Structure 1
Amino acid sequence: MSEVMSDAGTSTDTHCPYCALQCGMRLRPNAEAAGGLEIVPRTAFPVNRGALCGKGQTANEVLASGARLTEPLVRRVRGGELTPATWEEALDRIAAGLSRTRARYGPDAVGVFGGGGLTNEKAYTLGKFTRLVLGSSQIDYNGRFCMSSAAAAGTKAFGVDRGLPFPMEDIPRTGCVILVGSNLGDTMPPALRYFTELRENGGTLIVIDPRRTKTAEQADLHLAPRPGTDLALALGMLHLVVAEGRTDEAFIAARTSGWEEARAAAMAHWPELVERITGVPVPELRRAVRMFCEPDAAMVLTARGPEQQAKGTDTVGAWINLCLATGRAGRPLSGYGCLTGQGNGQGGREHGLKADQLPGYRMLADPAAREHVARVWGVDPDVLPAPGRSAYELLDALGRDTPDGVRALLLMASNPVVSAPRAAHVEERMRSLEFLAVCDVVLSESAALADVVLPVTQWAEETGTMTNLEGRVLLRRKAADPPAGCRSDLEVLHALAGRLGWEKGFPTDPEEVFDELRRASAGGKADYSGITYRRIAEEDGVFWPCPEPPSPGATAPSDDPSNDHSATPHPGTPRMFLDRFAPPDGRARFTPVTHRPSAEEPTAEYPVLLTTGRVLAQYQSGAQTRRVARLNAAEPGPFVQLPPRLAERLGAAEGDRLAVISRRGRAVAPARISRDIRPDTVFMPFHWPGEGRANTLTNPALDPTSRMPEFKVCAVRVELAETAPGPETGATTGTT
């Protein structure tokens, strides 16, 4: 496999291991730097142009041996300690545990749970391993918790989902952006410059968030709706668009369908009703509509705020309806987009980690999709299992003594003990497994529960592709050798497949895996067949869909504009939908939706709303960032942000320990009193385990379409910790 290096091999151009922005960076050998690598700016990469947040600047810290796993660990006695083992013993134990479970209970008693940080090659191989080697339908990944509602809504409306159907560089050139439920200032700081440039160019920014965040402070207009009411807000704006005659009737007639039903649903949400539901005054609603509709171009971008709700698919659908009704989709510098969170949340589901999808964004229930992928894999389509459970439903089934219970789990690159909703319950379920194997770079809280833990290589020690939030397929290059005790996830799956009877079909060379992935994706919605490692390196990434052109003289379907009967490489698709949308008739679909309450509304016992999110210095479950001294110094632990009036009622001062109690458990953390949050709401970040674990509290109520849990709103009460009894939370063990 070829490695594309820079500076005559002395440094390596690669990408940050964290969020879906996938910022470009350069790694330079330096014996005195953490992990032997120094991080320096890579100014030519177009997405971040050299900028890195604190997490990116310190990403090499986790490469250091003191912060990571460097040898396999096994638990030789049930209830005993994890102790070092050889790789052969560890792999043998995993193969035996998985085989024993399959033989006793059947293939679906073995589950697999992946992570949105896995490369495309690993995601593809893990999905293939689950469905062929294990014969199990029970696979999903933590990306289900990330943008699955946006994916479902985008697929309904446009026929295909790609986080952003346009590159980030278009944002400063549009007229107005509505940013819903995203605090980029903390979650993707290098992206904030695009919105600064938007305003410098004369455009406007509307931020919708129940908190006045760093991002909201940059806005021309900040709307602070009650958590769980984003759907009503979008419908109220669409009502005003219709009432004020701001619809684009020509666009609606030429390029959409279903408008009459969607309009009728929106008209039931008049401004005064929406004000009562959301708390957003009618004049602010009218101002937002005017700001959005008056420029020639505008965008709506959503993130976890509106998506992590039990009605997230409908909520995103309402924002898409607003774009379609005003002609703000399928046109230059306009459109709807989702700001993907995890590093490869997009690519993971495109290529096989999601319970219902096969590589290329093919659906597992589609006979033609099964036929295509089975042909690439060299098996009969009937061998492939049916779609399995979604992420939370899979976690909830762990260890259950029922015919459909999942008795053994292979966990890769995820930490559900901290990141899953109703986390104490998920921890209990994981403890009840008959066998648990974990592949990770650190001993996370979830790994600490395992029977076998395998230390695997990290981002700078392996080559592979990632797909960022723009749909740009990137090459993350190997820059250093891993510690002697670590192996790549591809090597792990190859070794396990061999032990389970599959000697071929699971290569360890990532470029060889990618070439197979290209064939498996060919003709699918997420077509990577025209993308190669060399093209990615030469072009700073390639946007999918990028089909491989047919050989000269080949016969191709006449309605496929990519089939030009030449061998000229497809340029990739940085901007989708400019000519037509993905459904067969080329039209986008309106979806009629109406507001409904959250799954859990405040009561006399639980009178306050809790919303959760991230902070600047930590990432996701914190398994890696909590091992970096600089990041811990900036944000050492959990907290409860609450408004002054609530603090006064509680008699709480800054720093006092508060207990936040929901129907699922109790979390305790210091108070941070702030006027930047609604008076009916408290906020907790979700990066920590133990007594401050925010996801002890969150509600696993699922969106009926996307199966995404309702992380972003649940009913709680808040009390001083010393006087606050509450449900048992389930103690968390493992490192912090």
Structure 2
Amino acid sequence: MQSQCPFCSVQCKMEIEQSMQPEDPYKRPRYTVNGLPNAASEGRLCVKGMHAYQHALSSERLAYPMARRNGVLERISWEEAHELITAQIRSSQENYGLDSVGLYGGGSLTNESAYLLGKFTRVALRSRYIDYNGRFCMSAAASAGNKAFGIDRGLTNSLADIEAAGCIMLAGTNIAECQPTLMPYFTRAKENGAYIIAIDPRQTGTTEFADLHLKVKPGMDAALANAMLRVIFDEGLTDPSFIADRTNGIEELKAHVAAIDLEETAELCGVPLADIRKAASAFGRASAAMVFTARGVEQQTDGYMAVRNFINLALVTGNAGKPGAGYGAVTGQGNGQGGREHGQKADQLPGYRSIEDPDHRAYIAGIWGVEPESLPGKGVSAYEMMEKVHEGEIRTLLVMGSNPIVSNPNADFVEEGLKKLDYLVVADMFLSETARLADLVLPVTSYLENEGTLTNLEGRVLLREASRAPHGEARHDWRILSDLAEQLGSGSKFSYASVEDIFEELRIASRGGVADYYGITYERLRREEGIYWPCPSTDHPGAARLFEERFAHPDGRAVLLPVPNHLPPEQTDSSYPLYLTTGRTMTHYLTGVQTRRSAGLAARDIESYAELHPKTARRLGLQAGELLRLASRRGEIVVRCRITASIREDTVFVPMHWGDSQCVNKLTNPALDPTCRMPGFKVCAVHVEPLLKVRQA
């Protein structure tokens, strides 16, 4: 079987070979997984990819629809499932209005499913309430790229450009553990003489690889970038001709940077001034430099502005549109890039068009065969949808490819809201924490069974072929939506015979948009392996490197923006004296629904944990391996204590891959970035104490 990893944004290709073991009395098959040569991962696989088949073959897979009756989920037919959903949607919309039904999607769905989610919500439901868990992944970087460059496409260069860089800044990204198959690109860059700077409150595999580690205080990334900008201007390391010819806003940025006090800012971000000078000098003096951001920078209440400041660093030094130079947002989810391009976000239509632009609405309405005025307006972000649930504005919710009870901040609040719903439908492969609350559960196909396209972190569109028949009665996401549309009277708008039919419509819907896929076809993808967007015609090769001559704004110029230093909205005090930050581990993915069902991955990290500095642990009376209680102003969890000098003394780190009593998002702050509506996952104030002490008290 040939397939493509369902996890991170590299989207590595693989081959899974099944063989029988004659000596095994139970006749269990043996599986061997090997990477397939491809332009992104170059044939590599990480531990998650090697074991991904295990969750797809798991005995815990949902095999048939289930409805809740007398408090218990019971098996029903698909016909009954359709009747239940249709009746509920009609009842809810008749009694409470069209917007009483919402749809919550996911960033690991194929482009075709993401496209259909948006179309289904706006055409079949005519509701404005749709968003997805990618809001928590890429919204800060996406909005920053759109405002600064006029386009958001993850990496502005191809991965191959990395090894041509003279300096690389990795801000809030732990590539060594989160996208390990990319590390050889950075290794080759280092062998070619590149200076690597890593920005992270923790010591990680990535910071150990780097030449310089800036151990920033959680939430102070924008301030750190300001300090580096001041050094770059003071030392004359800008590129005046590039700035004059290709950017707007330099005078405002100069005035802002001139007012920065370096010593105060260094103190604010918790990084020695000498290290800030060293980093800024290395970046500014390099003949070509790249800066990458990920969730450490982006999952903040100033995530949009923080990313803009790192983009400022690239622009004032002339690092755009040439080999080894540029900005890259390291996408987290498997289709975090494509998932936000074709209408799954609250404010978007296919091709990265705006739902509030009359011309965009008219074009998409023409493709869909509806009147422009029938399309609903902009909805709200993912977490704000949970607030609408609490308020009773959303009464029925369909969740597809997501686990919001674990992935949202302030998770106890989210769980309370979902329990208030009149009706909750969850489409998933497993009985996730969210699915356990559902009134109706629908089984969906896995990555081995579901064909479609995905767009990796560099904007390369890839085709994942199906290599296995669906498990049990599981159905493809797109088929479930098409069948529901038929039940709701919109079947003529969703009459697809195959997933390729959906892509053909997506091509036309994206044509002329920012994310133009028109020139990409399944036939080309099979022949060429992968194609970068924008690709406006079938004879276009796809744009691997952006901005070689102009940026995507109408005047062709990028926009510089002064970024003030920003303190996180929640500060420590005597009751909550430590900062909590969250992140990923190498062996698990997102909320762990899939990886915790892979024995080879679950065995490596069987439970969650909290990392504390030895001095902090000693002060709190904590021992390595004991259970501790971690509490914020919103909730509390119980996890295992890990003691390590790799973390700041004022900071606690907890991974995000577990639910229930180990769900770190019970603690996180739901305060939102005012521009992109990203929650402030990466910093909140917490209290830590031994669980034994709590029980004795």
Task: Compute the TM-score of the two structures, normalised by the length of structure 1.
Answer: 0.92
Alignment of 1:563-712 (within 5 A): 569-712=539-682
Aligned-partner residue type, residue 715 of structure 1: A
For residue 111 of structure 1, give the secondary structure of its aligned residue in structure 2: strand
For residue 91 of structure 2, give the secondary structure of its aligned residue in structure 1: helix
**CA offsets 1:557-584 (integer angstroms, 9 cap, x no match):** xxxxxxxxxxxx0110011111100001
Check 1:263–1:39 CA distance in 2 against 1; reply closer, same or farther (3 A cut). farther
Poorly superposed stretches of 4+, deviation over 3 Å: 27-40
Farther-moved stretch of structure 1 (514-523 vs 492-501): 492-501
Alignment of 1:120-269 (within 5 A): 120-269=111-260
Q: Distance in 2 between matches of 1:711 and 1:629?
A: 29
**CA offsets 1:317-368 (integer angstroms, 9 cap, x no match):** 0011111111112222201110000011111110011000000000000011
CA contact (8 A) 2:231 2:281 kept: no
Farther-moved stretch of structure 1 (189-198 vs 520-529): 189-198
Q: Distance in 1 between matches of 2:654 and 2:167?
A: 30
In the alignment, is residue 112 of structure 1 matched against residue 82 of structure 2?
no
Partner of 2:53: 60
Shift of 1:35: 11
For residue 373 of structure 1, give the secondary structure of its aligned residue in structure 2: helix
Aligned-partner residue type, residue 95 of structure 2: R
**CA offsets 1:619-667 (integer angstroms, 9 cap, x no match):** 1000011111111110000101000111111111101111111100111
Partner of 2:515: 526
For residue 309 of structure 2, give the secondary structure of its aligned residue in structure 1: helix
Partner of 1:51: 44
Shift of 1:235: 0.5
CA RMSD of aligned residues (A): 1.5
Partner of 2:456: 468
Aligned-partner residue type, residue 487 of structure 1: R
CA contact (8 A) 1:494 1:508 kept: no
Shift of 1:673: 0.4
Partner of 1:721: 691
Q: Distance in 2 between matches of 1:262 and 1:100?
A: 54
CA contact (8 A) 2:35 2:45 kept: no
For residue 424 of structure 1, give the secondary structure of its aligned residue in structure 2: helix
Shift of 1:689: 1.1
Shift of 1:94: 1.2
Farther-moved stretch of structure 1 (33-42 vs 500-509): 33-42
Task: Compute the TM-score of the two structures, normalised by the length of structure 2.
Answer: 0.97
CA contact (8 A) 1:27 1:37 kept: no
Partner of 2:315: 324
Q: Distance in 2 between matches of 1:267 and 1:679?
A: 32
Structure 1: segments with no counterpart, 5+ residues: 1-10, 550-568, 726-736
Check 1:520–1:30 CA distance in 2 against 1; reply closer, same or farther (3 A cut). farther
**CA offsets 1:259-286 (integer angstroms, 9 cap, x no match):** 1112222222232011110111111011
CA contact (8 A) 1:332 1:578 kept: no
Q: Distance in 1 between matches of 2:48 and 2:30?
A: 15
Q: Distance in 2 between matches of 1:295 and 1:683?
A: 33
Q: Distance in 1 between matches of 2:397 and 2:406?
A: 17
Aligned-residue identity in percent: 49
Check 1:97–1:40 CA distance in 2 against 1; reply closer, same or farther (3 A cut). same
Farther-moved stretch of structure 1 (453-462 vs 61-70): 61-70
Shift of 1:40: 3.3
Q: 1:542 aligns with which of 520, 531, 535?
A: 531
Aligned-partner residue type, residue 264 of structure 2: L
For residue 576 of structure 2, give the secondary structure of its aligned residue in structure 1: coil
Partner of 1:339: 330
Check 1:234–1:35 CA distance in 2 against 1; reply closer, same or farther (3 A cut). farther
Alignment of 1:211-610 (within 5 A): 211-401=202-392, 405-506=393-494, 507-548=496-537, 569-610=539-580
Shift of 1:528: 0.2
CA contact (8 A) 1:309 1:703 kept: yes
For residue 454 of structure 2, give the secondary structure of its aligned residue in structure 1: strand
Q: Distance in 1 between matches of 2:610 and 2:45?
A: 28
Farther-moved stretch of structure 1 (261-270 vs 538-547): 261-270
Farther-moved stretch of structure 1 (638-647 vs 184-193): 184-193
CA contact (8 A) 2:171 2:293 kept: yes
Q: Distance in 2 between matches of 1:517 and 1:31?
A: 42
Check 1:35–1:254 CA distance in 2 against 1; reply closer, same or farther (3 A cut). farther
**CA offsets 1:37-75 (integer angstroms, 9 cap, x no match):** 945334421211221111100111112250311111110
Q: Distance in 1 between matches of 2:30 and 2:363?
A: 43
Aligned-partner residue type, residue 471 of structure 1: G
CA contact (8 A) 1:490 1:508 kept: no
Q: Distance in 2 between matches of 1:375 and 1:698?
A: 43
CA contact (8 A) 1:35 1:60 kept: no
For residue 634 of structure 1, give the secondary structure of its aligned residue in structure 2: coil
Aligned-partner residue type, residue 212 of structure 2: L
Aligned-partner residue type, residue 62 of structure 1: H
Q: Distance in 1 between matches of 2:536 and 2:308?
A: 28
CA contact (8 A) 2:164 2:323 kept: no
**CA offsets 1:172-192 (integer angstroms, 9 cap, x no match):** 121111000111122111111
Partner of 1:100: 91
Q: Distance in 1 between matches of 2:563 and 2:88?
A: 47
CA contact (8 A) 2:18 2:32 kept: no
